[in-house]
Amino acid sequence: MNNIFKATLVFSTVLGASSLAFADGKAGFGPRGEKCKPPAEVMQKFDANSDGKLDHDERTQMHEARKAEMLAKHDANKDGQLGDEERQALWTDKKQEHFLRMDADGNGSITAQEAEAGCGPLKRFFSKVDANNDGMITQQEFDEAKPPHGHADRQGRRGFKHR
């Protein structure tokens, strides 16, 4: 298995897990079990019984729908699987999507307050990702940061620190 595929798989798993945590309203993205508020669009689309959480069948439906959406968007040659370049495009899109979700005010940077309000490991590693220590994380700093400890980046490196 090549490194890009491994990293894409890990990153997708982490994002998927955080989506499930959002959907369940249970423990969040990180090992400290932060509580996460479910995104309204996820609940509206997948909470079929309107009970405010996603049961196993609803989560399975969400997972399959997201997988189909990713394949439809990134499978450029329509062969039913993602090649190296297609996985790279998926990786890039997911990182940008995650950054935009964290950038609550849409100004192109993530402040410490936005990171703290988010549900993920960025709040714990903010100062390490903020390479120039200006109190904001730009898309470039976010893209250049390694993933959290225990999650490998595209080159198989571990730890959440600025390169």
Reported confidence tier of residue 163, pLDDT bands at 50, 70, 90: very low
The predicted structure's pLDDT at residue 34: 47
Cβ contacts of residue 103 below 8 Å, gap of 6+?
109, 110, 114
User: In the prediction, which pLDDT does 22 show?
Assistant: 44
The sign of the dihedral angle between the CA atoms of 88, 131, 27, 117 is negative
pTM: 0.59
Confidence of residue 82 (pLDDT cuts 50, 70, 90): confident
Contact yes or no for 135/115 (Cβ under 8 A): no
Average pLDDT over residues 22-50: 64
pLDDT at 36 (0 to 100): 67
Per residue in 126-157, pLDDT (tens digit) is 888 999 999 999 999 988 886 654 444 444 44
pLDDT, mean over the chain:
74
Q: Identify the band that residue 57 occupies on the pLDDT scale cut at 50, 70 and 90.
A: very high
DSSP assignment of the chain, as one string? --HHHHHHHHHHHHHHHHHHHHHHTSB-SSTT--B-PPPHHHHHHH-TT-SSS--HHHHHHHHHHHHHHHHHHH-TT-SSS--HHHHHHHHHHHHHHHHHHH-TT-SSEEEHHHHHHSSSGGGTSHHHH-TT-SSEEEHHHHHHBPPPTT---TTS--SS-B-
